[in-house]
């Protein structure tokens, strides 16, 4: 590619279509160095090529400065070059292309100082209050344990009191049942006596060989038997003197039972024996022969 204006015109270094062209224009008579002022070596081709090489190397070395610096800023190399060498527009053969370097700007992080300070304050308060919270939690656990222990004691006391009340109520109910049974049996015995007084003939209705009940008579039933035999009097004696005590033992029957179960009572008058001994002798006789040993009043025994 040659310049139409002269054979010694500017020689472009690169193809203008590929990259931005940075060229050096060297014309005859241009003051570049001291040797050029003499004009002695102006026509030599070797010296002209050497100058072209030097200018090209200098241009390549200065290329980063041209790209990075602002040409309009004072002191820039590009601006100085333009100010010193300002060739005419018509002397530049290829059109110069302007390279615009666009640097993408990353988002700039601006910290929220107030928010960060508030977070730091919250963290400081939380850390400083941790021992207090731990102490409060420990006190709460201790108080809860004490409350549970007290509640257990109260519950145990209430349970014991409830059991005592239940037992007392049950005992009263049993006593009320015994009293009702006692009254019923006594009324029945009074009716029997009235019938015996008005009805002639024997009143024996129970056979002598009856079997005893496995559970035995209750206290109320024994009481009814005593009331029927001797109106509950442990010192009672029949009109004939044969039957004695609350259960109207004969001496022969008394000594027989005492010889088998209570030898220390042998020969003792049944009416003079202690009520406790008379009760034990009556139970022993019932376990051996059943209620048939009281042919009339045995009706109150099972």
DSSP string, 261-285: H-GGGTT--GGGS-HHHHHHHHHHH
Last residue of a domain, one of 82, 103, 124: 103
Q: What span, in angstroms and rounded, lies between the C-alpha atoms of 260 and 288?
A: 11
Q: Which residues of 22-58 are buried (b: 16+ CB within 10 A; e: fewer)?
A: bbebbeeeeeeeeebeeeeeeeeeeebeebeeebeee
Is 275 a residue whose pLDDT tops 80?
A: yes
Ranking 138-147, 228-237, 263-272 by mean pLDDT, the lowest is 138-147
User: How many distinct structural domains can be found in the chain?
Assistant: 2
Mean pLDDT, residues 220-224 taken together: 91
Provide the CA 271 distance to its chain's centre, in angstroms.
76
pLDDT of residue 52: 72
Query: Considering the domain boundaries, does residue 4 fall inside one?
Result: yes
Query: Considering the domain boundaries, does residue 93 fall inside one?
Result: yes
- Domain of 271? 204-300
Query: Considering the domain boundaries, does residue 167 fall inside one?
Result: no
pLDDT of residue 134: 82
> What tens digit of pLDDT does each residue of 122-167 get?
777 777 777 877 888 888 888 899 899 989 999 999 999 999 999 9
Stated pTM of the model: 0.46
Question: Which has the higher per-residue pLDDT, 241 or 62?
Answer: 241
pLDDT of residue 1: 43
Helix (H, G, I), strand (E, B) or coil at 202: coil
Query: Considering the domain boundaries, does residue 180 fall inside one?
Result: no
Q: What span, in angstroms and rounded, lies between the C-alpha atoms of 253 and 37?
A: 178
Provide the CA 234 distance to its chain's centre, in angstroms.
72
pLDDT of residue 65: 58
pLDDT of residue 238: 92
- Tokens 């009331």 — which residue? 227
CA proximity to 83, closest of 93, 75, 94: 75
Query: Considering the domain boundaries, does residue 114 fall inside one?
Result: no
Last residue of a domain, one of 63, 78, 103: 103
> What tens digit of pLDDT does each residue of 170-220 get?
999 988 888 888 888 888 888 887 777 776 655 556 777 788 888 889 998
Query: Considering the domain boundaries, does residue 176 fall inside one?
Result: no
CATH code (residue 215) = 1.10.530.10
Q: What span, in angstroms and rounded, lies between the C-alpha atoms of 279 and 220?
A: 13
Q: What is the mean pLDDT of the chain?
A: 74
Last residue of a domain, one of 80, 103, 126: 103
Query: Considering the domain boundaries, does residue 61 fall inside one?
Result: yes
Is 40 a residue whose pLDDT tops 70?
A: no
Query: Considering the domain boundaries, does residue 22 fall inside one?
Result: yes
Compute the 3-state secondary structure of the chain and give helix, strand, coil in percent, each to the nearest 5.
60, 0, 40
Question: Which has the higher per-residue pLDDT, 96 or 120?
Answer: 120
Is 296 a residue whose pLDDT tops 90?
A: no
| pLDDT level of residue 68 (50, 70, 90 thresholds) | low
Decide: 10 and 93 in contact? Cβ < 8 Å.
Answer: yes
Count of all residues that appear for the chain in the document:
302
Is 250 a residue whose pLDDT tops 80?
A: yes
**Partners of 249 in the β-ladder:** 244
CA proximity to 180, closest of 168, 192, 190, 188: 188
Burial of 293: CB neighbours in 10 Å, binned 0-12, 13-18, 19+: buried
């Amino acid at each position: 590619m040659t310049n139409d204006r002269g054979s010694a015109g500017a020689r472009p270094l690169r193809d203008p279509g590929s990259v931005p062209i940075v060229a050096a224009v060297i014309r005859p008579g241009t003051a570049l160095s001291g040797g050029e002022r003499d004009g002695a070596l102006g026509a030599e081709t070797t010296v002209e090529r050497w100058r072209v090489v030097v200018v090209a190397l200098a241009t390549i070395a200065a290329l980063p400065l041209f790209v990075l610096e602002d040409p309009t800023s004072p002191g820039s190399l590009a601006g100085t070059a333009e100010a010193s060498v300002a060739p005419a527009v018509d002397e530049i053969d290829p059109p110069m292309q302007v390279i615009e370097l666009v640097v993408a700007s990353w988002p700039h992080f601006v910290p929220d100082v107030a928010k960060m300070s508030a977070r730091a304050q919250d963290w400081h308060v939380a850390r400083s209050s941790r021992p207090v919270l731990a102490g409060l939690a420990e006190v709460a656990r201790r108080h809860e344990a004490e409350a549970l222990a007290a509640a257990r004691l109260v519950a145990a006391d209430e349970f014991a009191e409830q059991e005592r009340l239940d037992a007392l109520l049950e005992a009263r109910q049993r006593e009320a049942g015994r009293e009702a049974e006692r009254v019923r049996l006594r009324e029945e015995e009074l009716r029997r006596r009235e019938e015996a007084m008005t009805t002639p003939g024997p009143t024996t209705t129970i056979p002598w060989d009856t079997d005893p009940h496995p559970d035995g008579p209750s206290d109320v039933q024994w009481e009814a038997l005593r009331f029927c035999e001797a109106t509950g009097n442990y010192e009672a004696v029949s009109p004939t003197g044969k039957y004695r005590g609350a259960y109207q033992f004969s001496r022969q029957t008394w000594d027989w039972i005492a010889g088998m179960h209570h030898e220390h009572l042998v020969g003792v008058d049944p009416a003079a024996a202690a009520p406790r001994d008379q009760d034990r002798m009556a139970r022993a006789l019932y376990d051996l022969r059943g209620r048939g040993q009281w042919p009339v009043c045995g009706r109150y025994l099972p």
